[in-house]
Amino acid sequence: MTLIYTVLVIFAGFCLTDSGAERLVPAITEYFEIVLFRNIYYVHFQQRLHPIPDNDTLAMLKHPHTHIKEITGQNMVDVRIEENKPFPQLKQIPTGRLMPDDSLENYIRRSTFFNGNLLQNISRVGSYVNPSITLFRGRLLMVVSLELGFTGSRNKPPSNTIEFRWLNSTEYPFAASINNTYLGVDEVDVSPLNRELTGQDPRVLVTNDSYFQILFTSLGYVTSKAQRMGVAEVQYVEERKRLEITYERQPILVSSKNSQKNWSPFRYRNQTLLIQSINPFTVSMMSEYGGTGSLNAMRFSKSSPFQHNRYGDLRGGTNVVLVGDRYLSFYHIRTTIPHNKLVSYLFGAYTFTSEPPFRVLSVSPMPIIPRELYTGPWGQRFIDYCVFPMSIFVDGKFIHLSFGYQDRSGMMAKIVLEDLLNSLVPVTHFDDGIVAKWER
């Protein structure tokens, strides 16, 4: 016997299969939809229906301009009802009320449902502002700008110099005499670099066991409305067991007058490329300019923008790693959560194609909001919580993430790579064409 269902869909669309049956398809404005089936409301996400526990939760899931459409279908193809896995209960917050704790709790519950509990072994590594931690020569190397005084660094004031430390080597970071203003790395963690390097928020891109690059916010432009990036190349000299800066250019010149920061570097066919913008996805390459010593960012490719969720603009975050047939990176969002006046920094993951023209393939369905990082005292007077992703590396089945926390601490966590990739959802592009492409 054929059953005929009436389904009320909120933010939803549908398509016909070859058999003529209607398949539920999430609308591009969200990665989930709300359906009414047999007088019960469900969240439809990744071909699963999860019952909504109460009217307050239903009200908090709706948008102010919810479009409700009633459709009739013979069945729901490949959709399974998860009666034992209901959507988490949300607290209804009246319009116009400031209830930041309740609102953030709702976001945490939503994020845990859509993303899962991804972060494991969250640990603090010290009083560092936005450190990048990567695997280099089989050890954990931290690259960080000195903006705070550190435990064990009694004679070293903040200096904005970018410095290096074997993270698992000694409990005293950067311990040196009062006259040393910058340090290198050797077996005892104390060795002056051959030159000073200044900047903020360094991202590290490891090429091999002897060489890595650093992309950072150029110090002369840190407080400027038109911020600029700098780049340095660092070599590990085996015979002296130390790091040496072999190349430095700052700022990287760009044609735009807009602020340029938080670029994400990655390697493609033995060259370094830079992600200037995630949406639209804009990739540049570096080129010396006419023998003047200046370094330009030249557009390599730019793909059409894609529809993302409503939580905020995707901004640059970590370096990029190749996982299988695609690249993976993390973004950050600067936003204000509803019913709260303070700024929040959230983060999530995305993937893009491994060959040009590069296009974003998938993103986190909503920002990743671990309870451990978004509860407790607020970070600052105007910021409630700040999680700022800086660096990732893959080691076996795990991806390791280093990030700044509350502009006061450096943190690390690990994520099961397969779980992260499975949590991402495909994006919908506005246009299948390439807006622009530049090649050498």
Please tell me the predicted confidence (pLDDT) of residue 228: 85
**Minimum mean pLDDT among 1-5, 72-76, 254-258: which range?**
1-5
State yes or no: pLDDT of 233 exceeds 50: yes
Which band of pLDDT confidence, cut at 50, 70 and 90, is reported for residue 435? Answer: very low
pTM of the model: 0.85
- Of the candidates 333, 337, 310, which has an alpha carbon nearest to the alpha carbon of residue 98? 337
The answer to whether residues 319 and 181 belong to one domain is yes
The answer to whether residues 134 and 86 belong to one domain is no
Distance CA 58, CA 34 (A): 9
State yes or no: pLDDT of 182 exceeds 70: no
Reported as a single tens digit per residue, the pLDDT across 278-311 is 999 999 999 876 555 678 888 899 988 888 767 8
Distance CA 110, CA 208 (A): 40
- Of the candidates 319, 330, 150, which has an alpha carbon nearest to the alpha carbon of residue 231? 319
The answer to whether residues 50 and 189 belong to one domain is no
State yes or no: pLDDT of 432 exceeds 60: no
Reported as a single tens digit per residue, the pLDDT across 60-111 is 887 655 554 544 454 566 778 899 999 999 999 887 787 888 999 999 999 9
Distance CA 115, CA 419 (A): 9
Which band of pLDDT confidence, cut at 50, 70 and 90, is reported for residue 7? Answer: very low
The answer to whether residues 71 and 188 belong to one domain is no
Reported as a single tens digit per residue, the pLDDT across 20-47 is 334 333 344 568 888 888 888 888 898 8
State yes or no: pLDDT of 335 exceeds 60: yes
Please tell me the predicted confidence (pLDDT) of residue 77: 66
- Of all residues in the chain, the percent with pLDDT exceeding 90 is 43
Report the chain's mean pLDDT, rounded to a whole number. 79
Is residue 103 one of the residues assigned to a domain?
no
The answer to whether residues 85 and 133 belong to one domain is no
The answer to whether residues 347 and 229 belong to one domain is yes
The answer to whether residues 199 and 331 belong to one domain is yes
Mean pLDDT of the 43-61 span: 90
Reported as a single tens digit per residue, the pLDDT across 215-230 is 998 876 555 566 789 9
State yes or no: pLDDT of 241 exceeds 90: no
Please tell me the predicted confidence (pLDDT) of residue 159: 64
Is residue 13 one of the residues assigned to a domain?
yes
Distance CA 258, CA 251 (A): 14
Mean pLDDT of the 372-376 span: 92
The answer to whether residues 159 and 260 belong to one domain is yes
Please tell me the predicted confidence (pLDDT) of residue 180: 42
Please tell me the predicted confidence (pLDDT) of residue 203: 96
The answer to whether residues 164 and 46 belong to one domain is no
Please tell me the predicted confidence (pLDDT) of residue 150: 42
Which position has the higher pLDDT, 155 or 130? Answer: 130
Which band of pLDDT confidence, cut at 50, 70 and 90, is reported for residue 258? Answer: low
Please tell me the predicted confidence (pLDDT) of residue 138: 85
Looking at the 3D structure of the chain, how many domains does it have?
Answer: 2
Reported as a single tens digit per residue, the pLDDT across 185-213 is 554 444 567 778 888 899 999 999 999 99
Which position has the higher pLDDT, 301 or 430? Answer: 301
The answer to whether residues 326 and 393 belong to one domain is yes
- Of the candidates 110, 40, 118, 54, which has an alpha carbon nearest to the alpha carbon of residue 82? 40
Which position has the higher pLDDT, 168 or 270? Answer: 270
Is residue 346 one of the residues assigned to a domain?
yes
Domain ends where: 43, 75, 92? 92
Is residue 104 one of the residues assigned to a domain?
no
State yes or no: pLDDT of 128 exceeds 90: no
Domain CATH for 194: 2.115.10.20
The answer to whether residues 406 and 293 belong to one domain is yes
Tokens standing for residue 167: 């993270």
Domain extent, residue 79, equals 5-92
Domain ends where: 75, 92, 109? 92
How far separated are the first and last CA of the chain, in Å rounded?
63
Which band of pLDDT confidence, cut at 50, 70 and 90, is reported for residue 257? Answer: low
Which position has the higher pLDDT, 80 or 7? Answer: 80
State yes or no: pLDDT of 256 exceeds 60: yes
**Minimum mean pLDDT among 133-142, 175-184, 383-392, 399-408: which range?**
175-184
- Of the candidates 308, 368, 389, which has an alpha carbon nearest to the alpha carbon of residue 108? 368
Please tell me the predicted confidence (pLDDT) of residue 188: 45
The answer to whether residues 135 and 83 belong to one domain is no
Please tell me the predicted confidence (pLDDT) of residue 221: 59
Please tell me the predicted confidence (pLDDT) of residue 185: 54
- Of all residues in the chain, the percent with pLDDT exceeding 70 is 75
Angle at the Cα of 192 from the Cα atoms of 190 and 195, rounded to 5 degrees = 150
Please tell me the predicted confidence (pLDDT) of residue 24: 39
